Amino acid sequence: MSMKRRKFIGLSAGAVGALGFSASSYARILGANDRINVGFMGTKSRGMGLLGSFTKMQGVNLTHNCDVDSRVLEKTHNAIIKAGFEPPKSDKDIRRILEDSTLDALVIAAPDHWHATAGVMALEAGKHVYVEKPLSHNPHEGEIFVSAQNKYKKIVQMGNQQRSSAESIELMILIEEGLLGNIYRAETWYGNDRGSIGNGNLASAPNWLDWNLWQGPAPRRPYKDIYVHYNWHWFWHWGTGEICNNAAHELDIARWAMGLDVPEKVSVTAGRNFHTTDDWEMYDTMEVRYDFPGDKTVEWVGNSCNKVNRFGRGRGTLLLGTNGHAIVDRAGYEIYSTDGTLLRERKAQNRAVNTNDLV
């Protein structure tokens, strides 16, 4: 295997927090080919960011492009060519993309309801998968996805941005060395000032959007002019709410730091307190408590429409240990003793790089 491919896989592994693949995992990526043929599904926003990261990597071919918005499809097609690659195979239908035997790996950045379905389809077609968080729209689909990976033995990686930052990784090393002692509790939070999404109008889908393919595996609903491209997050059919849209980052850091697996008990209080006459279906305020073995707890407080800051931060994770506590977010971390003395501080040197260092 070439050094280029080793570099690709190493970067990819570090990006999602798996500290490295074994040599046997490396060998499973491609076999004898020197360049990885990568396709993208969903390139409106997050997908375009991922694509930009891939264009900077050696040993990678950007060969396939899929989006159900014809405007986005064309824009991405041209962006790939402008980046110096051959014209990709561009198609709005992921099924036709996956039929191509030359494709090695699929990057999935479509809406949440597509994640598990597209991932399983890719595995069945013999492709490796990189999927943005969340892994699935619901737990059952996640279990199906995991079973498919076990069956087809391809590599699946889930992107979770904050895990890829150098500051987060450095903090985890310090925690493993015992700087905080026994971490018994984590408090995580997210605050925003999201406005009303309004009340959508039933209408024919615009000619640039294949509404049937956009819905994909979800139950069918008539098109409204407020769903695409972002407000789907707040509808049960397609989205996963703020907890998977944003809390996933902080909860991941908490569980990582505390070495936690599955909680014994989960308690939730949630409600809709803002803009209550618009079409937003989900909660906008939520408190979740996770109780783990060993008297360890993790809490998340989410305020989608009330920008509450803690420690001067709109989002973050507080780790409470027997030797002190740490506060970490995307800007870096601070470590304090039990008497409140600042012991160590690290600021993110390049937040843009940290955000995009996923692949």
CATH number at residue 100: 3.40.50.720
Same domain? 294 vs 313: yes
Find the mean pLDDT for residues 309-327.
97
Does pLDDT of 25 surpass 50?
Answer: no
Give the CATH number of the domain where residue 314 resides: 3.30.360.10
Asked if pLDDT for residue 17 goes beyond 70, the answer is no
- Which of 132, 159, 186 terminates a domain? The answer is 159
- Give a yes or no: residue 205 inside a domain: no
Give the residue numbers spanning the domain of 173: 163-196+230-356
Token representation of residue 131: 């999927």
pLDDT tier, 246 (very low <50, low <70, confident <90, very high otherwise): very high
* 281 and 335 belong to one structural domain: yes
How far apart CA 17 and CA 109 sit, in angstroms, is 18
Region 209-226 average pLDDT = 98
Q: Is residue 143 part of a domain?
A: yes
Per-residue pLDDT for 2 more than 50? Answer: no
13 versus 330: the higher-pLDDT residue is: 330
> For residue 183, is pLDDT > 90?
yes
Mean pLDDT of 10-26: 35
- Lowest mean pLDDT of 55-64, 300-309, 316-325, name the range: 55-64
- Tokens (6 digits) for 230: 């972002």
Query: Domain check: are 238 and 328 in the same one?
Result: yes
| Predicted confidence (pLDDT) at residue 193 exceeds the cutoff of 60 | yes
How far apart are the C-alpha atoms of 257 and 250, rounded to whole Å? 11
Are 155 and 167 in a shared domain?
no
State whether 255 and 168 are in the same domain. yes
Residue range 13-37: mean pLDDT, rounded: 47
**Omega before residue 137 within 30° of 0, cis:** no
pLDDT for residue 289 is more than 90 = yes
Give dist(CA 85, CA 153) in Å, integer: 29
Q: Residue 350's pLDDT band (boundaries 50, 70, 90)?
A: low
Domain final position from 113, 142, 159: 159
Question: Which pTM was predicted?
Answer: 0.87
Instruction: Tell me what the pLDDT averaged over the chain comes to.
Output: 90
Q: Which two tokens stand for residue 163?
A: 């895990």
Q: Is residue 322 part of a domain?
A: yes
pLDDT tens string 130-178: 999 999 999 999 999 999 999 999 999 999 888 988 999 999 999 999 9
Domain co-membership, 135 together with 40: yes
Percent of the residues in the chain that have a pLDDT greater than 70, as a whole number = 88
Look at residue 11 and tell me whether its pLDDT is greater than 70.
Answer: no
- Rounded to whole angstroms, the Cα distance separating 331 from 318 reads 14
Claim to verify: residue 24 and residue 95 sit in the same structural domain = yes
Residues 328, 294 share a domain: yes
- Judgement on whether residues 312 and 173 belong to the same structural domain of the protein: yes
Nearest one of 238, 232, 234 to 281, comparing CA atoms: 234
> Could you tell me if residue 203 is inside a domain?
no
**C-beta separation of 156 from 144 below 8 A:** no
Number of structural domains (the chain) is 2
Determine the pLDDT at residue 33: 58
The 8-class DSSP code of residue 312 comes to: T
Question: On the CB side of 276, how many CA atoms lie within 13 Å of its CA?
Answer: 5
